[in-house]
Every structure is written in C-alpha cells, then in structure tokens.
C-alpha cells in the first residue's frame, strides 16, 4: 500500500507537469492577443511593448520560459512557495489570491458535496427499496427535473425567492469563515443547495440503479436465508457493493469542480477559482491560467488516488498496483 501511494504521488507530479506544459503550449499556439500590448499602457510605443515583453519574460524562447515557470514553481519566488509569479492582468501576486480563492471554491465544493451525498444516497436507496411505488416514481421524477433544469436558471430563481422575496438570506458574495462563521454559512447555503441538487439527482439515480442490481444478487438471497432483519440486509449487505462504484465517480466530480463551479460562482458573486480561470483566459493572463491548471490537475490526481485507496479498503477483491 505504502509503495503504491508513493508511486501514485510521483505519477501525480508527472500529470501536473504534463498539464502545465499543455496549458503553456495552448496559450502560445492559440494567442488571443499579446499580453505585452496590454501591459505597455494606453499609448504603447514599440519600445514600451518591447520593454513590457522583457519584463514579462516573453522575449525568451518557449523552453526557456517554461523552464523559468518550473524553476519558480519548485524553488519559490518573492511571493513565497510555490512560486506562481504575478498576474499579467492585475499585476497582483498570484499565490495569495490563489489561496483566498481556493478557500471560496473549497467551501462551495465541500459543503455542496456533503449535501449531495447526504441527499443523493438515501434517496437512491429508498427509491430502489420502494421500487415501482409512488415514492420511487415521485423521487425519480424530481431527480429528472433537477438534472434537466439549467443550473443558472435555478440559481437565479432561488436568489429571487429566498433573498429578494422572503428575505431569509443575506445576499450574494462570500464572507470568510474566520471573519464570521454565521455569515459564511448564510452566504453559502444557497450555492450549496444549487450545486447539491443537480449532483444529488445524478447520484440518486446511480445509487438506485446500483442498488437494484445488488438486491438481485445471489449473496443477498443468502443474507435473507440467514434470517437477517431487512435493516441489516440493507445496511450490512446491500449498501457497500452499491456504493463502491460511486466512490471513483465522486472523486472525479469533486476534482472537476475545483475549476468548474463557474456558474455558481458567477451567479452568487463569489470570487472562486472557476471565475478566476474564466477571467484569466479572457485576458491572456498566463500566470493565473497556469496556477489554476496546476491546482486542478493536482486535485484530480490526489482525489482519484484517495478514491482508489478507499475502494481497495472497501472491496477486498480490488488489488492496488
């Protein structure tokens, strides 16, 4: 197990490097405008642009530039470790903003994920156990609604109702936990719900399908033949095999959301990573793009590693190699 984890961590480093190289290449192969031009001020002269290019390091060859990025990343720079430079767009240091924005996105994702698991799994299990009844049809109908409803529309609608009309919630924006935990929670509850509803619906349908497969397995018939109570059959025999395949998916979904809660962040006016990536891409902001890429790639790799280890613990047939 230990050797496996070390090997997977090395692999993670490799994937992160690969992702950063790809992002780097895409950035230069598909230029959306010269970053130096913007940097050179309102009336750019040839010299100013050239000067800006030198300042940004854009005068060097591609391999040199990448090498510079890498050595800063690993060795750190004047803003700390890992070295991520400063934004071409705002000229602010990337690292502190990355940390702030990671907190925002992290809050959204972790709360949302908790919520969608807490809702999705029981709904799926209940639907499967009450298969073809009123409850099953009702719950699955609701799921279908949330899967097909546009997140953007749901988010705006919920803001309109709970903020504007009912006045239950303080509004949009993000309040750091350290500043005011109550406000942090009040501002996040709606984004959590919006994020969770879609995923809860998807997961409920998956859990239901898995459960329905599992309940007709031979080993479940054996469990009944042992004289176990229905509760024990479900909790001790059906749930584990039904949930095991969900874990890998959960890890991938979480990882993808690290850079992907753009709609939620935009509607609720939260300065998270997804938002940032969007702005950076629009502004040819290489350092920010690279920073978010590295974080997302590392998050996906580490989350899938955790998922694989968890699965091996849950299912003895799975071998880690």
Partner 1 sequence: MSSPREGHKLLEVRDLRVHFPTEDGVVKAVDGSSFALDRGETLGVVGESGSGKSITFLTVMGLINRSSARISGSVLFEGEEIIDASAARLRDIRGKRIGMIFQDPMTSLHPMHRVGDQIAEVVLTHTGASKKEAARLAVESLAEVGMPSPETRARQYPHEFSGGMRQRAMIAMALVLKPSLLIADEPTTALDVTIQAQILELIDELKEKFNIGVVLVSHSLATIADVSQDVMVMYAGRPAELGARDQVFQDAQHPYTWGLLESVPRPDVRVERLIPIDGQPPSLITLPPGCAFSPRCRHVRPECTAAVPELRDRGSGHLDACIIEPDEKTRLREERLAALEAGA
What are the residues binding partner 1 (CB under 8 A)? 217-219, 221-229, 232, 236-237, 240-241, 244, 314-317
Nearest distance from residue 320's CB to partner 1, in Å?
15
Q: Measured from the CB atom, is 97 or 238 closer to partner 1?
A: 238
Q: Measured from the CB atom, is 233 or 262 closer to partner 1?
A: 233
Nearest distance from residue 63's CB to partner 1, in Å?
50
Q: Measured from the CB atom, is 133 or 282 closer to partner 1?
A: 133
Q: Measured from the CB atom, is 100 or 217 closer to partner 1?
A: 217
Please check whether residue 264 is in contact with residue 71, taking contact to mean a CB–CB distance below 8 angstroms.
no
Nearest distance from residue 217's CB to partner 1, in Å?
7
Nearest distance from residue 317's CB to partner 1, in Å?
5
Please give the Cα distance from 301 to 304 (Å, whole number). Answer: 5
Question: 100-105 long-range contacts, Cβ below 8 Å, gap at least 24?
Answer: 100/271, 101/271, 101/272, 101/273, 101/275, 101/276, 102/273, 102/295, 103/176, 103/177, 104/174, 104/265, 104/270, 104/271, 104/272, 104/273, 105/257, 105/258, 105/261, 105/265, 105/272, 105/273, 105/274
Which of 64, 106, 70 is CA-nearest to residue 85? 70
Q: Measured from the CB atom, is 244 or 248 closer to partner 1?
A: 244
Nearest distance from residue 237's CB to partner 1, in Å?
6
Q: Measured from the CB atom, is 215 or 305 closer to partner 1?
A: 215
Please check whether residue 54 is in contact with residue 47, taking contact to mean a CB–CB distance below 8 angstroms.
no
Distances in Å between the alpha carbon of 169 and those of 53, 154, 161, 311? 47, 16, 10, 39
Nearest distance from residue 216's CB to partner 1, in Å?
11
């Amino acid at each position: 197990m230990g050797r496996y984890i070390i090997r997977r961590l090395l692999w993670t480093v490799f994937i992160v490097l690969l992702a950063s190289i790809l992002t780097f290449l895409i950035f230069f192969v598909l230029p959306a405008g010269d970053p130096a031009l913007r940097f050179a001020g309102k009336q750019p002269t040839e010299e100013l642009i050239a000067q800006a290019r030198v300042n940004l390091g854009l005068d060097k060859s591609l391999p040199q530039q990448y090498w510079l990025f890498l050595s800063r990343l690993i060795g750190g720079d004047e803003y700390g470790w890992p070295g991520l430079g400063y934004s071409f767009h705002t000229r602010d240091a990337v690292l502190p903003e990355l940390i702030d924005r990671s907190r925002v996105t992290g809050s959204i994702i972790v709360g949302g994920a908790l919520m969608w698991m807490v809702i999705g799994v029981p709904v799926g299990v209940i639907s499967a156990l009450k298969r073809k009844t009123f409850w099953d049809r009702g719950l699955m109908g609701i799921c279908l609604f949330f899967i097909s409803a546009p997140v953007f529309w749901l988010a705006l609608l919920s803001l309109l109702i709970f903020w504007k009309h009912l006045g239950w919630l303080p509004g949009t924006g993000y309040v750091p936990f350290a500043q005011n935990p109550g406000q942090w929670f009040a501002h996040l509850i709606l984004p959590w719900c919006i994020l969770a509803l879609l995923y809860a619906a998807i997961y409920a349908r998956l859990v239901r399908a898995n459960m329905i497969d599992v309940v007709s397995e031979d080993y479940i018939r054996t469990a009944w033949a042992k004289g176990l109570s229905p509760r024990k059959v479900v909790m001790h025999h059906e749930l584990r095999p039904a949930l095991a395949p969900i874990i890998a998916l959960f890890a991938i979904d979480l990882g993808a959301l690290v850079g992907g809660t753009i709609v939620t962040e935009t509607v609720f006016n939260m300065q998270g990573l997804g938002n940032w990536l969007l702005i950076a891409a629009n502004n040819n902001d290489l350092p920010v793009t690279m920073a978010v890429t590295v974080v997302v790639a590392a998050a996906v790799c580490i989350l899938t590693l955790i998922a694989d280890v968890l699965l091996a613990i849950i299912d003895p047939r799975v071998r880690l190699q």
